[in-house]
A and B are shown apart, each in its own frame.
Chain A
Amino acid sequence: MQNSTILLLLLASSTLPALIIFLTPSRYVLTRNITNLSGIFSKIFFVLLLFHGLAHDEVYSLSFAFTPHSSIVLKVDTLSMLFATLSSILWLFTTIYAIAYFKDTKNQNRFFGFFSLCVTATVGLSVAGNLFTFFIFYEFLTLTTFALILHTQTVEAKKATIIYLAHTIIGGLFFLVALVVLQSVSGDVEFQSGGYLGVLSDASPLFLQAIFVLLLIGIGVKAAIFPLHHWLPSAMAAPAPVSALLHAVAVVKAGAFGLIRVVYEVYGVELSRSLGLLDILLGVAVVTILFGSIMALRQLDIKKLLAYSTVSQVSYILLGIALFGPLGTIGAMVHLVHQGVMKITLFFCAGAFAKLHNIKKIDQLDGLGKVMPFGALAFSIAALGMIGIPPTAGFISKYYLALGAYENELLWVLGVLALSSLLNAMYFLPLLYRIWFLAPKELHTQQQEKKGANLFLLLPALVGALLSLLLGVFALSDWSPLGLAEKIVELEYRR
């Protein structure tokens, strides 16, 4: 098989199921699930194949002239593998979860179709080989997620969709303008480690800074950076599987991933530093981290709390980028994966709580540990991971971020990290206290009869919790996210 075909198959493995699902009437549940799962497993297979190939120094790239001035490039490097693996594995979890969650509801084919397309977009983002291709998949992501957020068809969902679209469409325009201007200056260039702008253009620093700000707005909208985060809490109106995917991989991570690409492979980290771009990024990240945590403290709704927690946690990634130096970068990339796994677990649990016992508010959590011990256990592990307690995955990333800050002698950043961890603990620990130590209140348990559904709602959450432990424990193995991140960083800082 040709190397470029694998890339196309990688994208097709979620696009084709989406098309089939769209055309299958909603009532053919089995057909839909089989199509969906076979798409997922083939995607995971292709990801493994790519891993295998990368280990043997194969080159996977595919380039295609879109117009004479810009081309679509698909290219696999270690960074893309990081993101592609995350999306395809979490796709599997979420799909299993969603099948149980949406059992016997309407418009399922619409949901699963757009869901698969959404995965196509994220995998496309991960293998995008230049900024132009990245932009195309970025906008494609907007289009597919918009239908997902609207899925419940409630008034809040509609409001959330409008807010989401207003943010992302306008953000996309910022991105587009920046992209057009960049391409006019630099021509059609692929991502390359070390960046290409410093070498190619003799543009003035001010110009490059302005473009960076445009890009930061355009891509940062999806990463929910501080003044542009508004859509994320309101998008909680979406059903739990959607929020899970939105928060863990699809949208916010797309933004963070995009900023990694921009800083390391468009500008290059040296140029970014000399232009002072990293300082901008650092400021934004710190403000967002603290803001998100403080807002999370004030929430009474579980999903809202998780949303603000995401706002804060995603900016850890930006913080890691902004810390010039290999350790910070490693922290950022590892956090990209680890936060995804932990956050999706939390959302699975929150969704299961809401679906099975109609628990939506924090004060309803009392004594849940006795009612659904497995769900509560998964929630607790993920929450502890979020705070950064060893040996969970969250500890590893925060540790590297702290090391990065120390390496750069930015002691106040260490302070920020400590403060934010404290805040994390302050909003997560009361929840755990309620779950395990308070007496249960009267619960509005809804579906006693659906035992099978329970299992499939909880299983992905448990696996996610297990994974967030394993990622922490086996962080030092070669193919862990940490190992991959170290490889990438080696490339970036080699010169």
Chain B
Amino acid sequence: MFNNLIPALIITPALFAILGFLFSKRAAFFGIAFGLIFFSESLLLLYGVATKSPWAYHFGGWQAPLGIAFAPLRFGSSILGVSAFVMLLTFIYARFSLQESQRALFYPLSTFLALGLVVVYLSQDIFTIYVGLEIIGLCAVGLSALQKSPKALHASLVYLFSTLVASGFYLLGVVIIYAKYGLLNISALIPVIQEELPTLVAFGFMVVAFLLKTAVFPLSFWLANAHANAPTPVSALLSALVIKATFYLMYLFAATLFIFEYELSYFLAFLGVGAIFYGGIKAYLSSDLKLLIAYSTISQVGYLLLIFAFIDEHTDPSMAFNAMAFALFSHTLAKSGFFLAAGVVVHIAQTKEISALQGYASITPVSVFAIALSAVSLIGLPPSLGFVSKWYYLQSAYLSESWFFLFAIIGGGILSAAYLFKLLILFLEHPLEEGHLLRREKSHTTLEWTAFTLSFLSVFLAFFSNSIIAFMG
């Protein structure tokens, strides 16, 4: 039964994307229906992964080296599950927040995005992963262009070129590996791969591609504008799901294929530290609400990369892994909730200017509460997923005696507290004018509560950390 789950996870998004594209007037209906089905399928997959021994699915009945094999791993499947949940709520949100012409494109595009995610998180084949990356990249570009302002178009063009260059680099890496080993399957490659110049060059290309697509600090130039100028649900999807996919690949490859030199992995972690501070400072300085959130994403990506500082330490690597996984889940939920809640605020205020948003806590309390909960998770205050992540990072840093990273984590925490509390204090101040209350619409209630659910989960799920860690083994 679980065996057919994997083709089902391919078929469903493909079919619903077709339906949504064909009947564009009913795109929202098909989108939300897809969200529900996809989420339940991913739950089933999680259940299957938890109960069955690891299995692989061979497409077309052809065994691995020749055909394409998908194998659900615990970590990948759980990210897929979280992504499906975020997607479902974002779809519900988009139904009420986008205009009809935008909806007609939003749903098919993001349904395709789900297809890409399935491929990236489940595939064992490095070429199929390339196709998945292409799907994700194209969807992301299309989605970020939905807001047809010149700024958004320009940002999405920059995004398109960056993602194309990155895809090209990744493909080059795949080509070199295939030319060298004649294999594309990850588990078939693991035993034969050797530390040789061509292999290392291929890895170099792949790493650069991942860094560019994940928007790691010096290569993050495209992210802020693309995320900040897209429509709200799109920003949520882009920052919560899209960059995670490539980060997951980077981690997966580093953990299985790459024969990293210690210095290189350290270098990645230093990039992470740079990202934490660069993103944090830019976020603190930005006067545009959505830009602030986008820069905060750049900063949070840095936390994900910190795992490379501990990947081949002598200490227990599972601790750093837990830290990274929780940072990922926390950011996925908190950031999507943050964006969606900020979307409500922006929609009521009709401006993204932060200084004009004073006192919104009394106008849309639920969204401000959602933002506060997200902030708790992003700063890493207890008890939130972000806190668990920070805890494990601090513990790994202490046990491996990497004081530099210890201080970086603390400093990053202070920085994110600075810009997030700045925002929260502003929201809690006196409203500039009372007339805003009139602009509230009925649909805002749904919007507020979907955002709240995501933010709340980013805090509340921490109480299940023990089971989550046990599940991921």
Q: Which A residues fall within an 8 A CB radius of B?
A: 22, 65-70, 106-107, 110, 135-136, 139-140, 142-143, 146-147, 150, 153, 158, 161-162, 165, 169-170, 172-173, 176-177, 180-181, 183-184
Contacts and interface: CB of A to CB of B under 8 A. Distances in A.
Contact of A135 (B319, B379, B382): B382
A70 B390 CA distance: 14
Contacts, number: 79
A136 B459 CA distance: 12
Contacts of B369: 22
Interface in B418-473: 421, 425, 428-430, 462-463, 465-466, 469-470
Nearest to B362: A107
Contacts of A162: 421, 425
Query: How would you classify the secondary structure of chain A's contact residues: helix, strand, loop or mixed?
Result: helix
B370 interface: no
Interface stretch (B39-47, B329-337, B391-399): B391-399
A169 B398 CA distance: 20
Contacts of B463: 66
A168 to B, nearest CB: 10
Contacts of A184: 395, 398-399
Nearest to A68: B469
Interface residues of B, number: 36
A281 B391 CA distance: 28
A418 B428 CA distance: 45
B466 A65 contact: yes
6 contacts: A67-B388, A139-B381, A150-B429, A169-B413, A177-B406, A183-B395
Interface in B314-339: 319, 322
Nearest first, the 9 A-B pairs at minimum CB distance are: A136-B382, A180-B394, A65-B466, A153-B430, A67-B465, A169-B417, A150-B428, A139-B382, A139-B381
Contact of A67 (B365, B390, B469): B469
A180 B398 contact: yes
A66 B466 contact: yes
A222 B306 CA distance: 31
A66 B430 CA distance: 39
A150 B368 CA distance: 15
A22 B452 CA distance: 14
A140 B381 CA distance: 8
B204 interface: no
B428 A143 contact: no
Given A170-B414, A183-B395, A66 B465 contact: yes
Contacts of B255: none
Given A110-B365, A153-B428, A67 B414 contact: no
B168 interface: no
Given A66-B462, A183-B395, 12 more contacts: A66-B383, A66-B463, A66-B466, A67-B469, A68-B466, A139-B382, A146-B421, A150-B429, A162-B425, A165-B417, A172-B381, A176-B394
Nearest to B413: A173
B414 A169 contact: yes
Contacts of A139: 381-382
Contacts of A143: 376, 381
Contacts of B365: 22, 110
A70 B428 CA distance: 34
Contacts of B399: 184
Contacts of A107: 362
A294 B318 CA distance: 53
Contacts of B406: 177
Contacts of A22: 365, 369
Contact of A69 (B382, B395, B413, B470): B395
Contacts of A165: 417, 421
Contacts of A170: 414
A165 B322 CA distance: 29
B361 interface: yes
Contacts of B319: 69
